[in-house]
Amino acid sequence: MIPRYPRSNRRAFLQGASLATLSALVGAAIPFHRHLPRGFVPVVIADDLTIAGKAGLSVLNDRPLNAETPPALLDDAITPTHRHFIRNNGNPPADTSADAWRLAVDGLVKTPFDLSIDDLKQRFEVVRLALVIECGGNGRAFFDPPARGNQWTYGAVGCSLWTGVRLKDVLAAAGVDDNVVYTAHYGADTHLSGDPARLPISRGVPIAKALTDGVLIAFEMNDGPLHPMNGAPLRLVVPGWPGSCSQKWLTRIQLRDIVHDGPKMTGKSYRVPNRPVAPGEKVDEQNFEIIERMPVKSLITSPATGVETNESVVAVRGHAWSGDRAIASVDVSFDFGARWQRAQLDPPFNAGAWQNWRTTVRLPQAGYYEIWARATDTAGDAQPHAIDWNPKGYLNNTMHRVAVRLT
């Protein structure tokens, strides 16, 4: 399976973009948008498609807005806010003022309550953690036959610093009933149809996961406000599990005595077959299971793929992560997997963070090379050359490969 980046026509995309997307791209409302001639693109973005507060992201979809970060722009040990990917399911709320924001905690609790962000800061210990968020469909573009959905390549992942309070502390204050099975998360975003009775997404996690130390209700990102497209002013961060569990624009957490059945929790959403299936095979919904922990994975952030160099010694670096586990080793090959060399691996900033790694390779002569990275986690799971196909294109953790030409 050879990685390939889907082609896009930037101007065609911009010409068909919604008003909400154009406003997000220019970073302001467009008062006279009705007079914008058909086919014209605002000059500020005509030559450089950008999103206010972001830099270098590749837009995959405008309704809803979804954008990934090219691997070479994820080189920082901690992902800067302007490099963190965007995954939306509905229309973001227009008002993200922190002052008036409220979070309800209810359902099967002894003491339901409704808190402001200031209440959270005052009542609970504030913690700051580096945590990985990765879309469950990261790598979907490389499935054959294609899987429907946003065609993410490698960049629907980031590891930023998140400041907030532990979800388990908030739930302890509410008092968790003995029969609680699952959480249910709700946000202020609205359904793409505009129907206020419909939710775009409402997922949850088993109560055992909710009560772990690393799950945060976050109100800061990299020591500053959350970016509006990353859930400002309040969101969940559930490290190691699909990013869809990390509800953005968080307004409510409900505790339930059943597996939550909100939008994107049932059917085939964020689920994979419970057995290997043939590529293109039709699978009955009853044979799908909910994705929980994300698989072991690594990313080469330098060199960028396609680079040409006249230096035979090439510095190689990147990140590795594996759901709720730590990484035991990262190995690198430049001869199509015939030989592997061990990379230097840093410990995680904290549990739930990715681990940075680095090495150098010496290319023996001029020509075309591929540098491959393979991570192995503490349970012994290693990245494969290829994974089983699944209908929704989830959990692609095949080894990352970059092309290098030595001149």
pLDDT at residue 11 greater than cutoff 90: no
What pLDDT score was predicted for residue 390?
Answer: 97
The rounded distance, in Å, linking the Cα atoms of 216 and 128 is 9
pLDDT at residue 55 greater than cutoff 60: yes
Q: CA angle 67-70-73, nearest 5°?
A: 115
Listed residue (300, 355, 359) closest to 78, CA to CA: 355
Work out the pLDDT band at 320, boundaries 50, 70, 90.
very high
Least confident window among 43-52, 53-62, 227-236, 270-279: 43-52
pLDDT at residue 26 greater than cutoff 80: no
Residue 83 three-state SS: helix
Work out the pLDDT band at 28, boundaries 50, 70, 90.
low
- The 3-state secondary structure of 165-178 reads EEHHHHHHHHCECC
Work out the pLDDT band at 51, boundaries 50, 70, 90.
confident
Residues 6+ apart with CB under 8 A from 154: 68, 70, 71, 138, 139, 299, 400
pLDDT tens per residue, range 113-144: 999 999 999 999 999 999 999 999 999 999 99
Q: Which domains does the chain have, with CATH numbers?
A: 10-87 (no CATH), 102-139+146-290 (3.90.420.10), 296-406 (2.60.40.650)
pLDDT at residue 219 greater than cutoff 80: yes
Work out the pLDDT band at 37, boundaries 50, 70, 90.
low
Query: How would you classify the pairing of strands 296-302 and 313-322?
Result: antiparallel
Work out the pLDDT band at 14, boundaries 50, 70, 90.
low
Largest CA distance in the chain: 69
pLDDT tens per residue, range 240-280: 999 999 999 999 999 999 999 999 999 999 999 999 999 99
Work out the pLDDT band at 39, boundaries 50, 70, 90.
low
The rounded distance, in Å, linking the Cα atoms of 241 and 50 is 28
Tell me the backbone φ, ψ of residue 54, rounded to 5 degrees.
Answer: -125, 160
pLDDT tens per residue, range 189-203: 999 998 999 999 999
Per the prediction, the chain carries an average pLDDT of: 92
Structure tokens given for 287: 């044979």
Instruction: Look at the block and give the residue holding tokens 């946000």.
Output: 187
Work out the pLDDT band at 109, boundaries 50, 70, 90.
very high
Least confident window among 6-10, 174-178, 398-402: 6-10
Residue 78 three-state SS: coil
Work out the pLDDT band at 44, boundaries 50, 70, 90.
low
pLDDT at residue 370 greater than cutoff 80: yes
What pLDDT score was predicted for residue 34?
Answer: 72
Q: With contact defined as beta carbons under 8 Å apart, do 343 and 393 qualify?
A: no
Work out the pLDDT band at 6, boundaries 50, 70, 90.
very low
What pLDDT score was predicted for residue 18?
Answer: 64
What pLDDT score was predicted for residue 407?
Answer: 92
Structure tokens given for 333: 């090959």
109 secondary structure, DSSP code? B
The rounded distance, in Å, linking the Cα atoms of 108 and 55 is 43
